[in-house]
Structure 1
């Protein structure tokens, strides 16, 4: 699969044809970000549990 990338200033960059066959999409979340996501989910879950407990009193 080839894609053609054109820039506005063709005199400076020119047209470049780039091979995208070997480019792998980023599917993994970096570990630091995953930790933050998990922490946020845990805090949200704990908050909802506390909210339910207070409502059921």
Structure 2
């Protein structure tokens, strides 16, 4: 038995990113300051961009 899901939709897609040291540190800082995972921080940023593009 695996870990319980945090959401109703399973996250079964893996994405590998190449980042600069500065980009990785920016994501880490946002994660630490908000208490969110790095994935959640990135997804929140994507959500903000999607809202901006819909204008």
TM normalised by structure 1 equals: 0.33
Greater share of residues in strand? 1
Larger radius of gyration: 1
Q: Which has the higher contact order (CA 8 A, sep 6+)?
A: 1
Q: So what's the TM-score if we normalise by structure 2?
A: 0.34
